[in-house]
Chain A
């Protein structure tokens, strides 16, 4: 068995523009690994390739070359409309919890749907129990489960999205800017919840964000991307306190100064 939960080796991806004149290299030769139970933070600015990389890790898109392995086994690319148990291991949580929930579906159904796919053996009663348990774990009370997404606040909606991703019994959660769309006062709440859930469910996290301050707080290791390449990676301390790459240094210097230490 592999020592790593996630191993990404030599992943490259390019897109051809609509007019077929130009080819855009979105990712070039990305290699990294994450140990079980660790949090890898990926930072970079818009266009650096971090979203393409998340899509490839999640199996939503195939790389041109290179491989993605979860617990030593190749992670399959999802074929349209067919979800199998093999995709279960990696689940995504997106930035905007409103656009990732169906506005016409009560949240109970949104989660029950996922339970049904991955645990079809459960009876209706057991499924209900599982949905309610997931909601409780993310701090949403059971009697709100028949409400629609618009009846919840942004922070609550993100909790619901997290519960839905947990319904698949994942091993890795890919968090793509999970708090960027939320108000400052609820961000801390969601971060605290994510850190708790990681322990409870024995998860490994990939935390993608442009917010260095938050990445620094949550990550064990940090990987900095620029223009489709990894420019620096290391422990959070090494990267934040002794950055080696010029681009990393520029990013850190650009953080607005609110340097209060506890």
Chain B
């Protein structure tokens, strides 16, 4: 049984019903790490936010089900799941911490919210687990006294406080410098092994995803275009978009032309009965603009394309 099963998720704007996420389905097994990659506007963050009903104002889930441990997540059970069984880390730690509240107090609050007695020792342990030196002094500090990397450590401490089954990380290192990113990546890997948690890692950075997860979901213009293991996706991608994306990363000879995808991604709601990538695709067939390709499986890999690329990069 999968730990999390998202089926036919569709997200749209509340006001005028513009589709932002179109019929997205995927599963995460116990202890499995899954990455969603895509560019801005591909629907990767909205898909993740839908899981905990955290969609921003003006955007709503219009259809689809989200099952956790075989049971659909009902609004009344959200409080028991959110921050407890499934927790989340965001891109910008400054906006997710309360600037007026000491760090230690913010951690205690999580315990109280889940009816657990706030034990100071537990707060200090949570901080030292994420390698924050001098936990006592840190618990007594305000977020602005911390650097970006330290704040993200606090967020991770909060997210892992109740040993969740699933940690959703939405671009958690994008705002950080590379050396700090390295520390956070290593920290999450270490904590994952300790807690045996599943991870859903959202990122536009393929390098980071390749390092952090086992299974990769590639999203484009609101839809899933390809799913496979890291090895399959990077060595034998089938969807022309994935091929272009990976190709743009392959090291070219110094100062030689890089492989690029011409054009820009369309808005998800402008692609209805066609493939979203058709306008930029080198492999385009007449039917690509007449019909929406479904996700079909070939072994453990699946892709939504009428004219897939065979034989790897």
List A residues at the B interface (Cβ < 8 Å): 39, 45-46, 153-156, 183-189, 191-192, 195, 210, 212-213, 217-218, 220, 236, 250-251, 253-258, 260-262
> Separation in Å of the B38 CB from the closest CB of chain A?
9
Among candidates B177, B251, B257, residue contacting A46 with C-beta atoms closer than 8 Å = B177
Q: Are B211 and A186 in contact (CB under 8 A)?
A: no
Among candidates A186, A212, A236, residue contacting B260 with C-beta atoms closer than 8 Å = A186
List B contacts of A187 (CB < 8 A). Answer: 248
Chain A CB within 8 A of B254 CB = yes
Known: A45-B177, A184-B248, A262-B251. 5 other contacts (CB 8 A): A183-B264, A184-B245, A186-B261, A217-B255, A217-B258
List B contacts of A191 (CB < 8 A). Answer: 258
What 1/0 flags go to B185-226 for Cβ under 8 Å of A? 100000000000000000011111011000000000000000
List A contacts of B251 (CB < 8 A). Answer: 217, 260-262
Main secondary structure of the interface of B (DSSP, over half): loop
List B contacts of A220 (CB < 8 A). Answer: 255
Among candidates A153, A210, A258, residue contacting B249 with C-beta atoms closer than 8 Å = A258
Chain A CB within 8 A of B300 CB = no
Among candidates B208, B245, B260, residue contacting A189 with C-beta atoms closer than 8 Å = B260
List A contacts of B210 (CB < 8 A). Answer: 256-258
Among candidates B182, B211, B244, B253, residue contacting A185 with C-beta atoms closer than 8 Å = B244
> Separation in Å of the A55 CB from the closest CB of chain B?
20
Q: Are A251 and B248 in contact (CB under 8 A)?
A: no
- Count B-side interface residues using an 8 Å CB cutoff: 36
In Å, the complex CA distance between A183 and B41 comes to 10
In Å, the complex CA distance between A45 and B244 comes to 29
In Å, the complex CA distance between A260 and B250 comes to 6
Q: Are A188 and B258 in contact (CB under 8 A)?
A: yes
In Å, the complex CA distance between A236 and B253 comes to 13
In Å, the complex CA distance between A255 and B40 comes to 22
Main secondary structure of the interface of A (DSSP, over half): helix
In Å, the complex CA distance between A257 and B210 comes to 8
In Å, the complex CA distance between A39 and B181 comes to 27
- Which 4 A-B pairs rank lowest in CB-CB distance, beginning with the nearest? A256-B207, A188-B260, A254-B182, A45-B177
List A contacts of B185 (CB < 8 A). Answer: 256
List A contacts of B249 (CB < 8 A). Answer: 184, 258, 260
Instruction: Tell whether A257 pairs with B207 under 8 Å between CB atoms, given A185-B244, A191-B258.
Output: yes
Q: Are A195 and B208 in contact (CB under 8 A)?
A: no
Q: Are B177 and A192 in contact (CB under 8 A)?
A: no
The chain B residue with its CB closest to the CB of A212 is B178
In Å, the complex CA distance between A260 and B312 comes to 13
List A contacts of B205 (CB < 8 A). Answer: 184, 256
Instruction: Tell whether A255 pairs with B207 under 8 Å between CB atoms, given A45-B179, A46-B177, A185-B248.
Output: yes
The chain A residue with its CB closest to the CB of B257 is A192
The chain B residue with its CB closest to the CB of A261 is B251
List B contacts of A217 (CB < 8 A). Answer: 251-252, 254-255, 258
Q: Are A257 and B211 in contact (CB under 8 A)?
A: yes
The chain A residue with its CB closest to the CB of B230 is A258
Among candidates B207, B258, B259, B264, residue contacting A155 with C-beta atoms closer than 8 Å = B264
> Separation in Å of the B59 CB from the closest CB of chain A?
21
Instruction: Tell whether A188 pairs with B259 under 8 Å between CB atoms, given A217-B252, A254-B182, A255-B178.
Output: yes
In Å, the complex CA distance between A253 and B178 comes to 9
In Å, the complex CA distance between A220 and B259 comes to 20
In Å, the complex CA distance between A255 and B206 comes to 12
In Å, the complex CA distance between A185 and B258 comes to 11
Q: Are B177 and A210 in contact (CB under 8 A)?
A: yes
Q: Are A183 and B204 in contact (CB under 8 A)?
A: yes
Give the contacts of B230-289 with A (CB-CB under 8 A). 234, 241, 244-245, 248-255, 257-262, 264-265
Q: Are A258 and B257 in contact (CB under 8 A)?
A: no
List A contacts of B253 (CB < 8 A). Answer: 262
The chain B residue with its CB closest to the CB of A236 is B254
19 contacts between A and B (CB under 8 A): A39-B255, A153-B264, A154-B264, A183-B40, A184-B205, A185-B245, A186-B261, A188-B248, A188-B258, A189-B262, A217-B252, A236-B254, A250-B179, A251-B179, A256-B181, A256-B207, A256-B210, A258-B249, A261-B251
Instruction: Tell whether A186 pairs with B264 under 8 Å between CB atoms, given A254-B182, A255-B207.
Output: yes
List B contacts of A188 (CB < 8 A). Answer: 248, 258-261
